[in-house]
Structure 1
């Protein structure tokens, strides 16, 4: 399973317009092309960031969607003038190596960078981390390995129905000795100081 993502940055004062236009485009794409794009915004992060994601069973499915999207005159006409509303910052493509379940109202996204010489060992360790977190919290923690961009990164993704559920999940982990012991085991595998924690709210 693979996941495609696009990051947009709304122009100052145009966030509502960016969400409205992007939602219309994604709805059209989902209807015409069978994709399942969702849209998230940052909580406690960049107030103008918009994140678009969808999954694909194969890279051939992703390629077909891209070709159809680029050739669709109706969708492209909807984007005329969009440069005054938002900028495309980045496209990413990744492989889901541990499922994270269905998107819910909120998602916690933890990003780490692994030590490149130990990438295989570090990836195995991160899968162990995700399995333990799932076991302790009861929430499915997925792992995504990027195929584009900085491939030394790994993403842990967990979905929650509410901010309170997210907070309770974090509390369970912080009180568990087995979980806390993983920090010491990460030495030499995870780049020090690379952990980045983000909370994203689903708006479509």
Structure 2
């Protein structure tokens, strides 16, 4: 059902005033009206688009970073990635972030999944790419980004998710999308196609 060109259950935003935009993100307060006519104010955080990469090697291992998150005061495994600079191509940003944070250069990038981490409060598009292989370029990982970089077996990802070792929404969403590909047999199929093109690949189902 629609009312005045809008769905009856659609929320309405009458205005938005910026509280702070001196950092990379912009914090604002929105004047929101519910379908039943109730109006209230709610914080809104608008954050630049982020890009991250799942790098999978020939042994079906995922390139991940072990790092400390001060807000949670916890050590967690994360995928490399970061904010996209103005006028920067998302895939270029994704590849740059992997190399800067881990010292590995992705060989190829393909879109895997796109998501919003918290649609009730935060406006931020997250782009996750899949890279099949990477080359070590000899640069040390950024000490401000990670304590160490490791290749985690894909078969061990589900266990680490259950243990809470992987918490960041981008890492969780991307890795679950990758595990779905594998469960559907699509990851192996793509790897086999690379093998037919002369790429050395080990595929385990």
Same fold (TM over 0.5): no
Q: TM-score, normalised to structure 1's length?
A: 0.28
Greater share of residues in strand = 2
Q: Which has the higher contact order (CA 8 A, sep 6+)?
A: 1
Q: TM-score, normalised to structure 2's length?
A: 0.28
**Higher Rg of the two aligned structures:** 2
